[in-house]
Structure 1
Amino acid sequence: MSIATGNAFDDGPAHRGWLVGTFIEPPDSVANSTDVEIKWGTHAAGEERAEWTTGETRTSMMVLISGRFLQRLPDREVELRRQGDYVMWGPGVVHAWRAIEDSVMMTVRWPSV
């Protein structure tokens, strides 16, 4: 049986916040998965990815854990304000973001590549 424990705040920085995915070592770890990627992201107020992320081949979902966060998509901006608010988009959708307040986000992408 594979088991992993830890703390997302402590373990995340080793892989830019990613806790599960094909890139997690060792390859036989329960956290190494070709099915899904999971990230615990902490973002200071004002932090942003202003340029559009392009060429994405996965489906993505971001869930607000705390704070306020703005997800920019081609046809709209989605403000995540309340704990549990989420936004999901499919492959090929360009996106950018900005933390309105100090924010903690959980991102899930599938499959892991």
Structure 2
Amino acid sequence: MTEVVFGNAASEGTNRWGWFLGHFITPTDDPRSTEELEVKWANYKVGDSRVKWSVNNQAATIAILIHGEFRLKLEDREILLSREGDYVLWGAGIPHSWIAESDCTILTIRWPSKPGDSVATTPSS
């Protein structure tokens, strides 16, 4: 990469559910367009949630709490992120959903960034 890009993660991801770096960025010669990883900056209000479960078939994911409280739901447990810097890391093939327990900000990184990798699912438990 030979150019410098700067901006605001919150505003640039507005039309993509918070995602501002990944394969979905156009044009493809934009330095933020990459299949290596995806980055999301998300501000949630208390009660915001993903009711339906989803799974990434190829990508691993890390969700890092910037502030607030955020609950990640996995098939066999729920993990509450409540201290700034708390994180959850999970691999490909693990169904998940979530709920914002308070107004919060989450930074999510997923790798690799592949079209169609995130799909709806039903947990097996």
Query: TM-score, with normalisation over the residues of structure 1?
Result: 0.95
- The corresponding residue for 1:49 is 50
Structure 2: stretches of 5+ with no match in the other structure: 115-125
Question: Which consecutive aligned stretches of 4+ in structure 1 deviate over 6 angstroms post-superposition?
Answer: none
Letter in 2 for 1:104: T
What is the number of equivalent residue pairs in this alignment?
A: 113
Letter in 1 for 2:86: D
Supply the distance in 1 between the matched residues of 2:5 and 2:67 (Cα, whole angstroms).
24
1:34-45 correspondence runs (5 A): 34-45=35-46
- The corresponding residue for 2:108 is 107
- CA gap of 1:40–1:55, structure 2 versus 1, over 3 A, is closer
Structure 1: stretches of 5+ with no match in the other structure: none
Query: TM-score, with normalisation over the residues of structure 2?
Result: 0.86
1:94 offset after TM fit, Å? 0.2
The Cα offsets for residues 35-86 of structure 1, whole Å up to 9 and x where unpaired, read as: 0000001111001112211353210000001110000011110000011100
Q: Secondary structure at the match of 1:54?
A: strand
For the 8 Å contact 2:71–2:101, the answer to whether it is kept is yes
For the 8 Å contact 2:40–2:108, the answer to whether it is kept is yes
For the 8 Å contact 2:72–2:98, the answer to whether it is kept is yes
1:52-71 correspondence runs (5 A): 52-71=53-72
1:105 offset after TM fit, Å? 0.4
1:79 aligns with 2:99: no
Q: State the identity %.
A: 38
The Cα offsets for residues 10-56 of structure 1, whole Å up to 9 and x where unpaired, read as: 21103221111011111001101110000001111001112211353
1:23-34 correspondence runs (5 A): 23-34=24-35
Letter in 2 for 1:78: I
Supply the distance in 2 between the matched residues of 1:15 and 1:4 (Cα, whole angstroms).
19
Supply the distance in 1 between the matched residues of 2:62 and 2:94 (Cα, whole angstroms).
12
